[in-house]
Chain A
Amino acid sequence: MNEEKYKSALNNLNVSKDFKEKTLAFLQGKSVKTIKKSILIKNSKFKKIFGVAAVIVSLVVIIWGMSFYNSNSFINLANSTGNIRAKYVNRVPLLKAKKESKYSIAVMPSEYEIFNEHNISIFKGTVKDIKNIKLEFGNSNEYYQAVVTIKIDEVYRGSNKTGSIVKVLLPCSIDTNNWVEDTDVVSKMKVGTIGIFMPTKYDGTEYKEENGAKLYWKDISNYGFRDGISYAFLKTPKGIIYDEFIYKSLNKISTLNDVKEYVLKMMKPNK
């Protein structure tokens, strides 16, 4: 009878003759405290899981550490002189607003003067990244600004190519509660903001001097805004943000195309 043969086959399987004793001894050796640990160590599945988990945790720590290191790393100031340090920072401390900020504009340029300024590049682009930076002049004076990375979508003036990436220095930090005079426009920048930007391309002569130390802006970035209101038109959910006081001839605009038409019109005398 096959059923009997099947039972006989299984009963004749070559299992350890002292398996019951070995199992009892194995279980006897497990104290209550070590049961959980034993299971984890014994089971290779758990070993693998813990191995993989350890690798993942290590990678996360390394990546986090690298990002922390990068975001707080000092910027190489090749041409600057004196006791100056510049570094990227994650946090900007709350500062008391200064009415007489270094960046406040004594005399507003006219729109015609802006389009005739030296070294102005004009392009449409998208903000891809924003990094705040801390500038230290000696041990006492420190300033917070930002460097934005912009991908150029359309070039109206300058040697840049569509699709290229430029870094532009802002006169204020971004996404903080610190108020800096005359930065109403650029302070609205966020990652993803589309706009028409008119930064100055540094030729290496522009610098900030304080306590005998000179910080050449080109050490920080190749481009910068001369102030925080006059050189950008930003598209936002609330409409186009720009300085209405300066651009008096620009009215009833609702899109960046309107700004583009205006910019091209204002550039004509230079062509």
Chain B
Amino acid sequence: MLNENVQNAVLKYSHSITIIAFNYVKNTAVAEDISQDVFLTYLQKLPKFESDEHEKAWLIRIAINKSKNYLKAGWFKSRNPLPDNLSYLPKEESELLNAVIELNERYRLPIHLFYYEGYSIQEIAYILKAKPATVGTWLARGRGLLKCKIGGFEDE
């Protein structure tokens, strides 16, 4: 019988975790594999969490690590999976998504966590193990880069 906490986590967070992995590997099939691996790790370790937020933050952290490890691919070579062709999305959406995932990882992930997951700068700092001021800087620079590319992330 599957552990109830793990089962609930899959139902609640699997999409978010897959999207986090997609942010790194840019390929949904690979992102799904990584996501499954994240929950397998959860099943294996069964850590105790103080809250749902803590649980989600832990899963995101694991997803980030596993995605980075996937791209490093061990001792022999770096893996670079073929990025998904996003042309099936509406043009504006695909352009925006491409613009975000082409950002440097340093700016891309804070942007994603801030705008998609709705985390505060403090929470992003906790997840990324960085200082809030640093996260604020990353967000500002990420927004600036997006503005150059697509005219900004927020309507101005």
By a beta-carbon cutoff of 8 Å, the part of chain A in contact with chain B is 1-3, 5-10, 12-16, 19-20, 22-24, 26-28, 30, 35-36, 38-39, 42-45, 48-49, 52
Contacts and interface: CB of A to CB of B under 8 A. Distances in A.
B74 A49 contact: yes
Contact of A12 (B44, B89, B100): B89
Contacts of B41: 39
Contact of B37 (A6, A42, A49): A42
Given A6-B115, A45-B74, A15 B89 contact: no
Interface in B9-40: 10-11, 14-15, 18-19, 22, 28, 31-32, 35-37, 39-40
B88 A49 contact: no
Interface residues of B, number: 44
Contact of A3 (B15, B22, B37, B153): B153
A24 B5 CA distance: 12
Nearest to B42: A27
24 contacts: A1-B154, A2-B150, A3-B153, A5-B93, A6-B96, A6-B100, A6-B116, A9-B86, A9-B89, A9-B93, A10-B97, A10-B116, A12-B89, A14-B84, A15-B31, A16-B32, A19-B35, A23-B39, A27-B10, A39-B37, A39-B40, A48-B75, A49-B74, A52-B75
Nearest to A25: B2
B122 interface: no
A23 B44 contact: no
Contact of B11 (A20, A22, A42): A20
Contacts of B35: 19, 23
Interface in B103-151: 115-116, 150
Interface of B: 2, 6-7, 10-11, 14-15, 18-19, 22, 28, 31-32, 35-37, 39-41, 43-44, 69, 73-76, 84, 86, 88-90, 92-94, 96-97, 100, 115-116, 150, 152-155
A212 to B, nearest CB: 62
A48 B76 contact: yes
Contacts of A36: 44
A44 B2 CA distance: 25
A26 B36 contact: yes
Given A2-B152, A23-B14, A13 B19 contact: yes
B96 A30 contact: no
Given A2-B154, A15-B32, A23-B36, A45 B100 contact: no
Given A7-B115, A9-B93, 5 more contacts: A6-B153, A23-B39, A27-B43, A28-B2, A44-B74
Nearest to A16: B32
